[in-house]
Structure 1
Amino acid sequence: MTVLTAEAIRVGPDLDAWLKAGGGEGLSQALDDPAAIIPTIEAAGLRGLGGAGFPTHRKWSAVAAQPRLAGEGKWVICNGNEDEPGTFKDRFLLSRTPHQVIEGALIGALAVGATNVALYVNPREAASVEATRAAVAAWTGHDLLSRLSEALGEPLRIGVFEGSGLYVGGEETAAVASVMGRFPFPSLKPPFPAEAGVNGAPTLLNNVETFAHVPHILRHGPEWYRGLGRGGAAGTKLFSLSGDVLRPGLHELPMGTSLRELVFGCGGGMLADRGFKAVFTGGPSNTLLTDAYLDVALDFDSLRDRGSRLGTGAMIVVGEGTSILRKTAEYVAFFAANSCGQCPPCKVGTHQVSRILGRIEAGAGRPGDLEALENLTQLLPGSGRCGLVDGAATVLASSIKTFRGEYERALRHG
């Protein structure tokens, strides 16, 4: 299944090759009937693929309903900040096939009436920055871009914005602040970016992968897109597979593919014939699933029904012999180091959790440590302006619930 990735291999950052391969047809159809864009996205069942899985058409409709801000218009931000451990899909799309991402963002701009498009890229991903800048330059002056400006009633401006390189910079209000040249502090909502984003203008934010699907939906139709998924799921999904598997890498599969097929089919099974122990689903900010869930369908609703989340589609596999306690300590340390410090419960809480986990993992745990960790999983969620502290609390709570014995053994025996 290669809706997004086949063209990357064949055409790369070459705009002419992209257009010859059918690129541009989605934008051209959108220009012929702009009013049909959002209903088409709704009929396709496209959801945000940066983690939350929010219905794309609802976000687009909210921005489309807002008037343009005088002197500023509206904005579209294509969020490519990707910085979570185990997630590497967006950098592939931006570095290998940026034109489908750009075309999707241009269709989004037309749908909501935006005259500014920001391709927001993690500066540490040099290949992504370079390829995206070259791709934007290739679009400059193209007839499709001229037609888009004419449809919008004023020139469309598109540019590449390098983020701060910080994990919190991927949160939507932090991304808005970064595009405005400010430090990426997440801010309280409301107002949401759809109401007041860049310089106070209505702003549409979607993930790189979300925009990459849009040209294909417009080109082939919503029924085709829905038919790519399995069960009740629509379309395809990029899965970043890593950890204790023989063939880690990026895999595009039908939405609704089972975890077993991803790990043992695409991933080739476990390293060194080790048993499957667990997987961090959707990256390290989500819950753990054990082998009892190997046949779960990897889609938003199926994982939610099992108390988990699809997230970004990162799947970090853990084999027998690898310590869940150690992996959890590593990931919580990441969150603690990446707290922006704006919200005291987040900054202090994540560091406290990290210190306790480090102490237990080092064999110096204290009698009340496990109870303290469990209390923190209750106190911390919802205490920050973004999801960082919630992610740390989620993975901690899941690891204790699922592998409590590891914590108890470490506290007893070191």
Structure 2
Amino acid sequence: MQTLNQCLMRDDFRVGADLDAWFARGGGEGLAKALDDPAAIIAEIAQADLRGMGGAGFPAHRKWAPVAAAPDGDKYVICNGNEDEPGTFKDRFLLEHTPHQVIEGALIAALATRANHVVLYVNPHQSVSLAVAREAVKQWSGHAQVAAIEKWIGAPLSLGVVPSSGLYIGGEETAVIASVEGGFPFPRRKPPFPAEHGVHGAPTIVNNIETLAHVPGILRHGAQWYRDLGLGNAAGTKLYSLSGDVLRPGLYELPMGTTLETLVFQHGAGMLQGKEFKAVFTGGPSNTLLTKRDLDVALDFDSVRQRRSRLGTGAMIVVSEGTSIVRKVADYVSFFAQGSCGQCPPCKGGTFQMMRLLNRLDTGRGVPADLEALENLCSVLPGSGRCGLIDGAVTVVESSINQFREEYEALLMA
């Protein structure tokens, strides 16, 4: 794992489940400052411009503020560590190597919103992450800072670990809530939003593991420190999961706003020998592909959106010339088809039909009508599901056709 040791992955922060070691290295200082003035926490988070690192880049303070404003009673902070999308492997690193940073961030969120339940929601397929999270949570039991939070909120604070379903769809925030309630992770329509009606109807924050891991540093060093870590108008750092046809794949913590070219050719050491850069699946396989024309793009939420793509989780799956885009897209749509919960027939049926058509095209059995049918599905399916799964599948298919139509047409039978 490669890092600039700036914020999340500092070598001296990698203490696993050892809470004493975490405090010996400066852990707890962010929470201590938060306890001095709990009412100022959300304003500090807003000034830092902390975004949600799980995909959407939604400002964290806008999730927290309505929960803080809700009347006292049961409120939840959920640390979302379901992480199951291909090419994304950042949250498991944080849970395994610096879980107390995540927990401290969640406790600060609970303090800011007067929440009395904190839940670490962890993918059970990541057995090491789950075991470390459980041990780390156990060590906070009875700690003086937890007692101080309880005094502020006027209620006992529960801190626990809930294994997720292990399903891809289980990471969507309303599906997370359904799982924490003990049910199947069926996504729900919004509104109401979790901040209004979450776990058992209580106001709920669902934040990604990486998002919460940034919080202690912001409270410890201040919003301006965090903003200064980024490049251009971007704030903070980002964990980029780099994989695919590069010489040095891995997890890189870099300033938010680092260019795609810098990530791939400097930190990733460039392409495999004899290979040329062709494209990259950004934020996992559910976004618009970026090509050679986009190597100069700054990898932050706003800049990538201007290229009609999304930064997503920060996953960058690099593809070289000579690799079939159709084959890659067929594999990813198969993943989406298998991951669909089946609650929305257009999603379940639509992903299956796209998978079937892509496999026909990839194996040279496709005809022009198959490509036309694929394009028709891309026009009618968006917005037909309760979550973003079908939209993500359509986005990657539509983008691949737009960017690499000649590859599709070359596979068609006469």
Q: Distance in 1 between matches of 2:257 and 2:91?
A: 20
Q: Secondary structure at the match of 1:242?
A: strand
Q: Match of 1:399, SS? A: helix
* Residue 63 (structure 1) aligned to one of 64, 67, 87: 67
Q: Could you tell me which residue of structure 2 aligns to residue 311 of structure 1? A: 312
Match of 2:75 in 1: 74
Cα contact 1:228–1:254 (8 A) shared by 2? yes
Whether 1:36 aligns to 2:40 is yes
Q: Is residue 367–residue 413 contact of structure 2 (8 Å, CA) maintained in 1? A: no
Deviation at 1:363, TM superposition (A): 1.0
Matched, 1:148 2:152: no
Question: 2:194 aligned with 1:193, yes or no?
Answer: yes
The equivalent of 2:137 in structure 1 is 136
Shift of residue 367 of structure 1? 2.3
Shift of 1:154: 1.0
1:101 and 1:211 in contact (8 A); partners too? yes
1:321-341 CA-partner distances (Å, limit 9, x unpaired): 111000000000000011000
Alignment equivalent of 1:54, drawn from 55, 58, 77: 58
Structure 1 moving runs of 4+ over 6 Å: none
Deviation (angstroms), 1:9 = 6.0
> Is the CA contact (8 Å cut-off) linking 2:78 and 2:118 kept in structure 1?
yes
Q: Deviations over 1:259-290 (max 9, x none)?
A: 00100111110012300000001110001111
Measure the CA separation in 2 of the matches of 1:303 and 1:378. 23
Q: Please say if residues 114 and 152 of structure 1, whose CA atoms lie closer than 8 Å, have aligned partners that are also in contact.
A: yes
**Residue pairs, 1:11-410, within 5 angstroms:** 11-69=15-73, 73-410=74-411
Give ranges in structure 1 of 5+ residues lacking alignment.
Answer: none
| Unaligned 5+ runs, structure 2 | none
- Amino acid in the other structure paired with 2:24: K
User: How far has the Cα of 1:7 moved from its partner?
Assistant: 4.2
d(CA) in 2 for partners of 1:17 and 1:372?
Answer: 58
Name the SS for the 1:272 alignment partner: coil
Q: How many residues align?
A: 410
SS for the counterpart of 1:297 is coil
Q: Distance in 2 between matches of 1:213 and 1:334?
A: 30
For residues 293 and 256 of structure 1, do their structure 2 counterparts lie closer, same or farther at Cα, with a shift above 3 Å needed? Answer: same
CA distance in 2, matches of 1:385, 1:154: 35
Q: CA RMSD in A?
A: 1.0
For residues 198 and 364 of structure 1, the distance between their equivalents in structure 2, rounded to whole angstroms, comes to 48
Give the distance between the partners of 2:376 and 2:12, measured in 1 at CA: 47
**TM-score under structure 2 normalisation?**
0.98
* Offset at residue 10 of structure 1 (A): 4.2
Q: 1: distance between equivalents of 2:111 and 2:146?
A: 11
- In 1, Cα distance between the equivalents of 2:63 and 2:406? 43
Shift of 1:412: 4.0
- Secondary structure of residue in 2 paired with 1:271: coil
> CA offsets, 1:130-167, max 9 Å, x none?
00001001111111111111111111000000010000
